[in-house]
Structure 1
Amino acid sequence: MLGYRVPAPDAAMLISGARGRGDAPFRVVTGHGAYIMPFFRKVRFLTLAMCESEVAEKCVTQQGITLNVRAVIAFKVGNDEQSIVSAAQRFLSDQNQMSVLTGRIFSGHLRSIIGSMTVEQIIRERQKLATEILDGSKEEMAKIGLTVDALQIQSIDDGDLGYILAMSAPHNAAIQQQAQIAQAKADQAAAEAEQESQRNQAEFARHTAIVQAQYKAEVDRAQAQAAQAGPLAQAQAQREVLEMRTELAQRAAELRQQELVAEVVRPAEAEAERVRILAVADAEKMKIQAEAAASHDRVALDRMLIDQLPEIVKQAAQGLAGANLTVLNGASGLSEVATGLVGQGLAIFDSLRGGLDGHRADDLTEQQPAELTGPAAN
């Protein structure tokens, strides 16, 4: 809007050409705008922002020692209307002069205060120095409408005199000694810690070696058992196979023995018994022949029967040899069979002799061969 002006947040608008409040020669406006009548009013702006001023001053202490002091002052125009009016009347045309004038004010107070203190006090009580400077300059700064936000002493030195260095030497020596003691203690503690660590490492290594040895022994034992398990199992299996083979061989031998008995021994025994039977028959033949020779009445008949008796026994023996006969008691059984055959032959002989007593000698001569052949064949 034409003629309406608004100051910046960090500035004060000064309107001249109109009476201000109180004794102020102009009107002060902050934080809001105002209508400016053209040609009748004039507007100027004063900064309310923070400003900075640096101070570098050579100061002489109470002991006569020259010190180089550097400080920084942070200040601004006060927020109240009276401070704005005071600052505007002094710095409105050249606002940069605020920093110059502030630096000079603080330089004077700095020299004055340092001149009343010793170097030791200045070094040890730097904050006290800053507070005294602020208190001494506060009234003067208020008169020109300025307030100090902060004062920071940046550095204090004595140039090449070495006073501050000499002053710090005892403390430095004590500090160095303490540092050496602390370093020695630290080294000792480190050495002890290193020794303890080495002992722990040795103990751990020993324990680890024992555990590894035990583990290796267990592994070796397990491997040995595993290695033996194969041959032992194989040997056990081979032993079982040999036992089975032995048992089979025994069974085979028993079967072969039975086969030999059936195929060789029994036929041989039967043949031997047949021969014995024939021998017995021959003996009986001779006996009968002797008895027949002693008998005159039946000489012819007995001789004929005697002649037929070996043939009867022979036929019976041949039948025994060809028969599938199982003898349970071996040679004794064969003897019994042979004896039975001979006894049967003799019984047949006696029966024939008794039966032929009532017949004629001629009929007996014709019929006897046929009757004898029949039982022998059977």
Structure 2
Amino acid sequence: MFGYRVPAPDQAMLISGGKRGLSGAPFRVVTGHGTFVLPVFRKVRFLTLAMCEAEVAETCVTKQGIALTVRAVIAFKVGNDTESIVNAGQRFLSDQDQMSVLTGRIFAGHLRAIIGSMTVEEIVTERQKLATEVLDTSKAEMAKIGLIVDSLQIQSIDDGDTGYIAAMSAPHRAAIQRQAQIAQAQAAQAAAEAEQESARQQAEYARQTAVVKAQYNAEVDQAQAQAAQAGPLAQAHAQQEVLAAQTELAQRAAELRQQQLVAEIVKPAEAEAERIRVVALAEAERMKIQAEAAASHDRVALDRMLIDQLPQIVKEAAGGLAGANVNVLNGTDGLGEIAAGLVSQGLTILDSVRQGLGTQGLGTQQGRADRSGERPGLEPGE
């Protein structure tokens, strides 16, 4: 649109011809957005806010009086605040390349001042310290012209033909060379040890190979010998099995013959002996039964005789009472008691006779047994 201006992202737009800017600046500063600019009555200029660099190659004299050529690179830019843009615009708007020239001269002066207070050893070994001190001392001066420094890098330090830095590094080079030689010797020793170890391993492998081959040959020979002996051994085992089978057959035949002898001789003899024993027992039992029967018959005959004689015995007992003076107190009951007493006496007499006869009969039976050679109630052989 006509009259509307917009600065680039890395630019500051300076508008002059109107009202004054910050702190009485002859222009207004616009960044990050556009604005209307009245043509003819307003003038627009642009100031770069991009990163710039300046190179410094300065010969400086150290604290020891040794001249050193120092090369450095400074990265700087215009500050983003309005005050820095106004300060840089008033100084560099018509010739912005002068920012790099002026920055280089400022840092060259600070480098000479700081290197003059340091030794060569400090400058060489503490480059970052040198850069930090230069930045710190130049910060305020750079801010006055609206510039800020992002970094300062010391690229090289050269003493020319004096050879001071080379002499200073000689001990380190010697130490490094010595370490390199030691490392080389150690590497050579390690290589020799590796070769020796390889030779030992090869020898050990060869030995193990020979042992394995010898074992293999021995196993082959043993297998061949076993194969050669397999036939006779098999025949011997077969004969041994035949003999074992024949022996077992002979044992079975002997056992069978023994069983036949037992069945033909021993069993019939045992059966005959058992038959004789049973017959003897039966005969003894028969004689015992006959003896008991005979004794029982004698007892029955005696009992019958006693029973037949019992009335006569009672009569005789009652006859003895005929002349006796007996007082009967109870009448008929008293006579019954007397009669019962007589009968009881008769029965007592009968029992006594029986016992006597039984003893006599047992003696008679014992005598009969003695005469027959056997004892009643006992089996033969007892």
Common fold: TM-score over 0.5: yes
Letter in 1 for 2:27: F
**Residue 96 in 1 paired to residue 97 in 2?**
yes
**1:221 Cα deviation (Å)?**
8.7
Superposed counterparts of 1:234-253, under 5 Å: none
User: 2:182 & 2:218 partners in 1: Cα distance?
Assistant: 53
State the partner residue of 2:142: 141
Structure 2 counterpart of 1:160: 161
Compute the displacement of 1:217 (Å). 7.0
Match in the other structure for 1:38: 39
Identify the residue that residue 132 of structure 2 maps to in structure 1.
131
Alpha-carbon distance between aligned partners in 1 of 2:210 and 2:11, rounded to the nearest angstrom: 83
C-alpha separation between the residues in 2 aligned to 1:192 and 1:11? 69
Q: AA paired with 1:23?
A: G
1:185 alignment partner in structure 2: 186
| Distance verdict in 2 for CA 1:215–1:34, change over 3 Å | farther
Structure 1 residue ranges, 4+ long, deviating more than 6 angstroms after superposition: 216-222
Task: Tell me: CA distance 1:29–1:195, structure 2 relative to 1, closer, same or farther (3 Å).
Answer: same
Indicate the SS of the match to 2:24. Answer: coil
What is the deviation of 1:215? 5.4
Aligned to 1:68: 69
- How far off is 1:124 after superposition? 1.0
Distance in 2 between residues matched to 1:70 and 1:43, nearest whole Å: 38
Q: Which amino acid in structure 2 is aligned with residue 13 of structure 1?
A: M
Alignment of structure 1 residues 1-378 onto 2, 5 Å:
1-19=1-19, 20-211=21-212, 214=215
Identity score, percent: 78
Distance change in 2, residues 1:216/1:165 (3 Å): farther
Q: CA RMSD in A?
A: 2.6
Structure 1 115/221 Cα, relative in aligned 2: closer, same or farther at 3 Å?
same
Partner of 1:268: none
Letter of the 2:9 counterpart: P
The change in CA–CA distance for 1:22 and 1:59 in structure 2 (over 3 A counts) is: closer
CA distance in 2 between partners of 1:210 and 1:179 (Å): 46
Offset at residue 40 of structure 1 (A): 1.5
Deviation, 1:37, is: 1.1
Q: Which runs of 5+ in 1 are unaligned?
A: 233-378
Q: What CA distance in whole angstroms lies between the structure 2 residues aligned with 1:221 and 1:30?
A: 103
- In 2: Cα distance, 1:52 partner to 1:220 partner: 92
User: In the TM superposition, what whole-angstrom CA distance separates every residue of 1:24-54 from its partner, at most 9, and x where no partner exists?
Assistant: 3211111111111111211110000000111
Partner deviation per Cα, 1:84-115 (whole Å, 9 max, x = no partner):
00001000000001000101111111111111
In structure 2, what is the Cα distance between the partners aligned to 1:2 and 1:214?
106
Q: Which residue type is aligned with residue 177 of structure 1?
A: R
Q: CA deviation at 1:164?
A: 0.6
Partner of 2:354: none
User: Residue 201 and residue 38 in structure 1: after superposition, are their counterparts in 2 closer, same or farther (change >3 A)?
Assistant: same
1:200 partner amino acid: Q
User: How far is the alpha carbon of 1:189 from its aligned partner?
Assistant: 2.8
Distance (whole Å) between structure 2 residues aligned to residue 12 and residue 204 of structure 1: 82
**Cα 1:82–1:200 shift into 2, 3 Å:** same
Give, in whole Å, the separation in 2 of the partners of 1:52 and 1:16: 28
- In structure 2, relative to structure 1, the CA distance for the partners of 1:187 and 1:153 (3 Å cut) is same
Q: Deviations over 1:318-348 (max 9, x none)?
A: xxxxxxxxxxxxxxxxxxxxxxxxxxxxxxx
CA offset digits 1:170-226 (Å, max 9, x no partner): 12212222332233233323322332232223223332444456557768998x89x
**Aligned equivalents of 1:124 and 1:114: distance in 2?**
13
